[in-house]
Chains A and B, each alone.
Chain A
């Protein structure tokens, strides 16, 4: 689903601290009033959210697992209907929940910004929770007489470049539902740590401990679909066979070798498809197949067998089969011009170099 038509109407911030050396919880510093931002600042705030949650961004849809009285989805449901006073009061519960979820001593503190608004068309209500870690930076300062120097700023947060923030958004789909929570809501998470490295445990406190979410069960199926659809797309491309070989190799690399824990259409496109038109065509192709735009957890269970071997078939039934991960290094293929036939036509042949000796022939 698309985060188009984003609009924010209320923001409140609290500060959450890291645990003491004795692993004791430090009480958060609660905000007492709504944050008012000028239009330019509000636009920048929306831009940060869009960079994290918009189409092609590395956000992920998760299942909402915890829905009890103390869960974040429950807090979100209260906040979405609350008036300003209740919004401020109830949001403190979220700060408490984050503080208690940060059980490890090395998890840094930060600012927790909670916002309400709408997204999508027709507009549906959202409650977002951003944990932003502060970092330092510099700004230029013009002194008296026009001299330029640097000023050190210690507590910068939500700058676009560093992406030192995690966002969880609960999106109300069907407000009139009578089903119990989490029915009628969807959850989306943006966390660089989930997508970047294999160390999911580091990110667990946020998506699981704090937000009460978990990876959807469809991950294995989705990863398989990603593989199959992308393969289909590459096959259909109007490119020379050599380029297609490279792309097939890229797909295997992306799934098997890449350390990233997610699989995403836009990530693959940006890294491996050089032409903008092809990237757009690929996005459209996957959209038409109803493959999600957001990141999907990589689960290779259903793909490992398929990924084990790469197969190249020639028109007259000649086949080359090699282990997928060694294909590129062991098998070199190149399109060449063949010998002219009786009519003078020059066919396209393939030169194959196999960096190995024959073990057995039948």
Chain B
């Protein structure tokens, strides 16, 4: 294929690739957003995802002038359009991968995997990233554009630290064979090694923190479920819930769910009061309010002491339960 042919073809194809990549991006984003709920997607992704079409000039450059042995360069270059997902943790990479692999709208192939590369060359510390190429499984109409079957799109998935390393080195160190001295290359390798270690440390920290708060998180899940069941509202997820659950975390115990369920059965007016007040009182839209009723009914003096918010906010709960709050 000549230079002119490449240019002409690319100019014609651009809208198709653009539509396809936007579509892929939206699909993956939606799928991931569901997995990570209630965390918002724009907090989970550390760099906003923006599919990018390859510049015509660099396509020509890559196809014909960079000594890569492409049989049919136009077809073989799979990153004519690509996007990058940058996340915080290596375990987050799995969530993106899951969305890529589970879709019925495309076939996928993993073109690069840093974990395989680590296994093959364990003593080497170089560029690390996960690369996929997804191809439309059938002719797909997106808006007014028909995307033919097989249209490729590259997806890179990296951690934030891997991304930083890449930003520094990729164009300078890896593209040119001679620009960097041995010393520079070694420095780059050292930083990659360090980044890999830090990524591992981050995973360990998150794992430890998750374990440490497991009781509280499970309790909150139970309470939220009971709240939705009884009050028939979707409970809010504000931080005050965690504040309250933390204050009483040592009083939850293993039988927390049956005790709470029991309380709601024995005193059904609690649900009525919560439903009533949820209309215009923020605290009653938080599921942790059920925990407050349970704690107040079982240990009123301790609850009053440990209550992290104001006593006046606790007063109506005590009133409902027939407890004179000032006497505890």
Contacts and interface: CB of A to CB of B under 8 A. Distances in A.
Answer yes or no: are A and B bound together in one complex: yes
Interface of A: 2-6, 43, 46-47, 50-58, 119-121, 160, 266, 269-270, 276-277, 279-280, 283-284
Given A121-B269, A276-B304, A5 B322 contact: yes
B318 interface: yes
Contact of A6 (B300, B306, B319): B319
A52 B323 CA distance: 10
Contacts of B321: 2, 4
Nearest to A190: B324
Contacts of B324: 50-57
Contacts of B319: 6, 43, 46-47, 50, 54
A273 to B, nearest CB: 9
Residue of B306, B318, B324, B325 with most chain A CB atoms under a 10 A cut-off: B324
B326 interface: yes
B322 A54 contact: yes
28 contacts: A2-B321, A4-B320, A5-B269, A5-B322, A43-B316, A53-B322, A54-B319, A54-B323, A54-B324, A54-B327, A55-B322, A55-B323, A55-B324, A56-B327, A56-B328, A58-B327, A121-B267, A121-B268, A266-B328, A276-B302, A276-B304, A276-B306, A277-B299, A277-B301, A279-B328, A280-B298, A280-B302, A284-B299
Interface string B266-310: 111100000000000000000000000000001111101110000
Contacts of A6: 319-320, 322
Contacts of A276: 299, 301-302, 304-306, 328
B324 to A, nearest CB: 3
Contacts of B298: 280
B326 A283 contact: no
* Interface of chain B, main secondary structure: helix
B217 interface: no
Contacts of B269: 4-5, 121
Contact of B267 (A4, A53, A55, A266): A4
A54 B318 contact: yes
Q: Top 3 nearest A-B pairs by Cβ distance?
A: A4-B322, A54-B324, A57-B324
B240 to A, nearest CB: 22
A270 B327 contact: yes
Nearest to A46: B319
Contact of A50 (B299, B300, B306, B322): B322
Nearest to B300: A280
Nearest to B276: A39
Contacts of B22: none
B299 A280 contact: yes
B52 interface: no
B327 A266 contact: yes
Contacts of A120: 322
Contacts of B328: 56, 266, 270, 276, 279
Most chain A CB inside 10 Å of its own CB: which residue of B301, B316, B319, B328: B301
B62 interface: no
Most buried by B among A6, A57, A276, A277: A276
Interface residues of B, number: 25
B315 interface: yes
Contacts of B326: 51, 160
A125 B315 CA distance: 23
A43 B281 CA distance: 14
A277 B302 contact: yes
B328 to A, nearest CB: 6
A3 B324 CA distance: 10
Contacts of A277: 299, 301-302
B322 A119 contact: yes
Contacts of A57: 324, 327
B134 to A, nearest CB: 58
Name the residue in B267, B316, B326 with the highest tally of chain A Cβ atoms < 10 Å from its Cβ: B326
A286 B321 CA distance: 19
B187 to A, nearest CB: 58
Interface string B12-32: 000000000000000000000
Nearest to A280: B299
B75 to A, nearest CB: 73
Interface in B181-240: none
Nearest to B270: A5
A265 to B, nearest CB: 10
Contacts of A46: 319
Contact of A283 (B300, B315, B318, B320): B300
Given A121-B267, A279-B301, A279-B328, A56 B323 contact: yes
B294 to A, nearest CB: 13
B302 A56 contact: no
User: Of residues A4, A46, A270, A284, which shows the largest number of chain B Cβ atoms within 10 Å of its Cβ?
Assistant: A4
A54 B322 CA distance: 5
Given A56-B327, A57-B327, A279-B328, A269 B322 contact: no
Q: Name the residue in B299, B306, B322 with the highest tally of chain A Cβ atoms < 10 Å from its Cβ.
A: B322
Given A4-B321, A5-B320, A50-B324, 4 more contacts: A2-B321, A4-B269, A5-B269, A283-B301
A42 B319 CA distance: 13
Contacts of A5: 267, 269, 320, 322
Nearest to B326: A51
Nearest to B319: A50
Nearest to A279: B301
Contacts of B268: 121
A283 B306 CA distance: 18
Given A121-B269, A270-B327, A2 B302 contact: no
A267 to B, nearest CB: 8
